[in-house]
Each structure stands twice: as C-alpha cells, then as structure tokens.
Amino acid sequence: MKRFIITLSLLFIVTTIFAQQGGAKIVFKSDKYNYGTIKEDDGIASYEFEFTNTGVSPLIVQRVSSTCGCTTPEWSREPVAPGKSGKIKIGYDPKNRPGPFNKTLSVYSNADPNVVVLQIAGVVLPHVKTVDEIYRIPIGDLRFERNLFALGRLFLNTSVTDTLKFINKATNPAKVTSNTQAYGYFSVTVTPQVVQPDEFGMVILKYSPKDRNDWGFVVDRFTLSVNDQPINNSPITITGSIEEDYSKLSPKELENAPKADFNTTSYNFGTIPEGNLAEFSFILKNVGKSDLIIRKVKASCGCTTVEPSKKILKPGESSPIAASFRTNGFTGLQSKSITVITNDPKNSTVILRMSGNVEKKQQ
C-alpha cells in the first residue's frame, strides 16, 4: 500500500511538470520603458512592449489593467502561436498631468507566469499658455489677465503701487485712460497712453490707505475709457485690508497698550418668528493700560444695526455694543457677523456673531 501511494505521488509530480512545460510562456523583451521628457501639448505618447511565446501552446493575452486612467493599453485578442511574437501598445495621456510620472500595468494571460507587471515612467513638461489663454478678461477690445488689484494688508502710513498688464486685441490703436477723478486716495495711469494692435500696456495703481480714511476690509472700483469711450460695464476692482502697523512697538509699548476684552463673542437668539427683532448687547472692556479706541464697527448685513455707545474707553472702562437683527425676509438658520476694529495691537480685529433660527411667518 505504501509503495502504491509513493508511485501515485511520483506520477502526479511528473504529470504536473510536463503540464507546466507544455503550456504557453510569455517573455517580454523589456518590462520597463522611460519616455524621457515629453510635452503636455504633444498629446498621447505611445510605446509598444514586445513579447514572445516561448512555450509550446498558443498564448492568449486576456486583459491588461492599469493603475491610472491616463494609460490606454491595446493588444491583439488573437492567440500567439509558440515561437511567435506580439505587442502590447501603451498610450500615456499627459494632459493636465505635468511633472514626473511612474505607472504600472498588469498583463494577464494563460501563460506561466499568468501575470506580468510592466512599468512606464517619464517627465511631462507643462502646457505653455498662449497669449489668448493668459489674457482672457475683456474690457472692450482690451484683454486682461485679471481685473482685480488684490492689495492684501495695507498699513496706514504706507502707500502701495501695483500693476495690471493687458493686450490690445483691436485692429486699431487704443488710447486708454482711467476714470478715477472722483477718488482722492488712489490714482491710475496707463502706459503707453496709446497701445497699438497686439501690443501690451500697463495699468498702474497708486493707493494711499491713509487718505482712504477707513479701517479693515475695503473695496473700490474704477473704469477705463478706450478712445474716449467709457467702458462702464467692466470695472476693475481694488481690495485690501487697512491696518495699523504694530510691528515696530517695543516690549514696553506693548505692555502699556490697550487691550480689548469682550464678555462674549457670540449670541444665540434661539428660535423667533420672522419679523421679530433679535437684540443683544456685547460688552467691551478695556483691560489694558492706555486708551482703547474703537476704530470701526461694521455688520456683515444691512439687516443688522450696530450701535457702540462710546468710541474711546479708558483703562478699566466698559461699554456696550448694541446689536439688532431685523428678521423680515429671513427664514431658517441665520448667522450674522459684526466686525469690531480697535487699536489693541495684539487683537485689533474681533468678529462678533449673532445666530439663531427664524420661523417662517404663517400666511
């Protein structure tokens, strides 16, 4: 019995070996390819991986799966006879994929081994934008890259200068001027004064935060005229935040500075019917060592009224800031903010918030 079992085992091993030797076998000339440097603008880059069936049975490539939708494999579904060769074509789409890439593809077949992993790599040079792609914003026949001067933080005693570049896409020369005569705190010049077709010009802004006489986030707009024709439907916007520069204060000055302290920065009025008035007084106290000046109090919505009772608080002095929210026309969850700007060097801007639920008025 023992001899019989040994004989069966040997027969199974021999049969398995012959079965393995008698199947298809896939051997790739190379399982890696580096495209080097390719351009995003050149479209799909292709490469053909060559393989040979070194087995004794027909080879069938069943499927090729990739790790990315950016790779597209192509191959023949026909069996590859023993000793014959085949190809798997890989296309890599570089669109919107600048920079290095490294992708793998798995080739499944009836061969031994039944899965072979291929690898492609390279570097994609990004798309170089055309003039028309860069300068897309129209102001008349002029085209701008942007129509916004985002000035960021504006310190009170520091004037700033910024520029916008444009191109004249008209077939005639364009005399470009700004309509900013009514503003005393910023000026705009255009150079050159006459811009030839397909030539570039610059809009130059000079902005004086001190002359703006405001605090916090500010927005201004102005328009241009081309050949003395105002283009009023395409304004250019200026944004910034006017602040006091506390960076040069000494440790002693900071120690003796004012300090704003609120009893709370949020109030929930619960649930009230539409049309009711939500009211609350935020208490501001100066816990510093010098006068606290309330520079500005501004609500985020015209529906909210804010009334500070005092603008200057002595050390230790408190004062209410009364806020009221008119709920007419508002329903559901509401949240209204109030911005308080003071001369507290460590916390010059505080956001207060009124929130709650407004029930729709019954008809």
pLDDT tens, residue by residue, 196-227:
999 999 999 999 999 999 999 999 999 999 99
Token digits of residue 11: 């027969």
Q: Find how far residue 251's CA is from the centre of its chain.
A: 38
DSSP helix/strand/coil, 11:
helix
Give the DSSP letter of residue 22.
T
Token digits of residue 91: 């296309």
Looking at residues 174-203, what average pLDDT do you find? 94
pTM of the model: 0.73
* 176: nearest Cα among 163, 158, 194, 159: 194
DSSP helix/strand/coil, 294:
strand
Looking at residues 344-350, what average pLDDT do you find? 95
As a CATH number, domain 131-243 is 2.60.40.10
- Inform me whether the pLDDT recorded for 323 exceeds 60: yes
Looking at residues 69-81, what average pLDDT do you find? 94
Give Dmax (Cα) for the chain.
Answer: 113
22-125: in CATH 2.60.40.10: yes
pLDDT score of 225: 96
CA distance 167 to 146: 12
DSSP helix/strand/coil, 42:
helix
pLDDT score of 361: 81
Same fold, 22-125 and 131-243: yes
| pLDDT tens digits, 26-44 | 999 999 999 999 999 999 9
251-359: in CATH 2.60.40.10: yes
Q: How far is CA 258 from CA 193, 294, 352, in A?
A: 49, 11, 19
- Identify residue 345 by its one-letter amino acid code: P
Domain ranges of the chain: 22-125, 131-243, 251-359
Over the Cα atoms of the chain, what is R_g?
37
| pLDDT tens digits, 150-171 | 999 999 889 999 999 999 999 9
